[in-house]
Structures are given as C-alpha cells and as structure tokens.
C-alpha cells in the first residue's frame, strides 16, 4: 500500500509556463514533506520542504503548498525552464525521531522550449 502517491507519471509544460506537480499521502503521522529532483543515473537532490505547521513554503521559482485536511501537497514551478526537466519525487517523514523517508513514484517533468 503506497503511503505517498504521485498519480501523474509524467507532465509536459511549455517553457515559461507554470508546472504543477501533485502528491497525495495517506499516513496522517507524516508531518514533514520534501520534494527532490532527480536526473537519470544520479541520486536525488533536495529541492524544497514544508512542515505540517505551514501551508506554503516558497523558494525562488519553487513553491510547495500543503493541504493537511486533504492530505495533499503540490509543487509549483514558475516560470518553468528547460533545465527543470527531471523526475520529481515527493517524500514524507513522520519526524519526531523517525528519520525514514517514504517516497512517491515520481513524476517526470518535461519542459518544452
């Protein structure tokens, strides 16, 4: 049973437009959420995170929104750039002494020039 779900395996967006990547979770114990970016044959690199006490966190072109009641979070990239093309993983952790990350399956983003 997948506790972190990314239901869109792929997404194509025109350069300059907004990319919205979605993530749903089922475990109500999760209280810290992270987004990672991954290129082929490389490990994931951290992008942005959000704690459950917040509903929004922004870092440059990247904004993560969290809707706790819906157990849903989303990553917005605006404006999208060709270099953003990668696989994006949503991850969650219960925190509170647990260091284990649970990942979604990832969404492959293609930004078309």
Partner 1 sequence: GAVVSQHPSRVICKSGTSVKIECRSLDFQATTMFWYRQFPKQSLMLMATSNEGSKATYEQGVEKDKFLINHASLTLSTLTVTSAHPEDSSFYICSVLTGYGYTFGSGTRLTVV
Q: Which residues bind partner 1 (CB under 8 A)?
A: 2, 4, 9, 34, 36, 41-46, 49, 89, 99-106
Contact 34, 25 (CB under 8 A): no
User: How many Cβ atoms from other residues are within 10 Å of residue 30's Cβ?
Assistant: 21
Whole-number minimum distance, CB 70 to partner 1, in Å? 21
Whole-number minimum distance, CB 45 to partner 1, in Å? 7
Return the bridge partners of 75, or none.
Answer: 21, 64
Whole-number minimum distance, CB 42 to partner 1, in Å? 5
Peptide bond into 45 cis (omega under 30): no
Decide whether 15 or 110 has the Cβ nearer to partner 1: 110
Decide whether 14 or 51 has the Cβ nearer to partner 1: 51
CA dist., res. 2 & res. 30, Å (int): 13
Decide whether 15 or 72 has the Cβ nearer to partner 1: 72
């Amino acid at each position: 049973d997948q506790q972190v779900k990314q239901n869109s395996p792929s997404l194509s967006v025109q350069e300059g437009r907004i990319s919205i990547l979605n993530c749903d979770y089922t475990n109500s114990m999760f209280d810290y959420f992270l987004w990672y970016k991954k290129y082929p044959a490389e490990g994931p690199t951290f992008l942005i995170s959000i704690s459950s006490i917040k509903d929004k966190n922004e870092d440059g072109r990247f904004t993560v929104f969290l809707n706790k009641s819906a157990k849903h979070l989303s990553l917005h990239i605006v404006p999208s750039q060709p270099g953003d093309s990668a696989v994006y993983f949503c991850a969650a952790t219960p925190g509170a002494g647990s260091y284990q990350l649970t990942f979604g399956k990832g969404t492959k983003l293609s930004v078309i020039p």
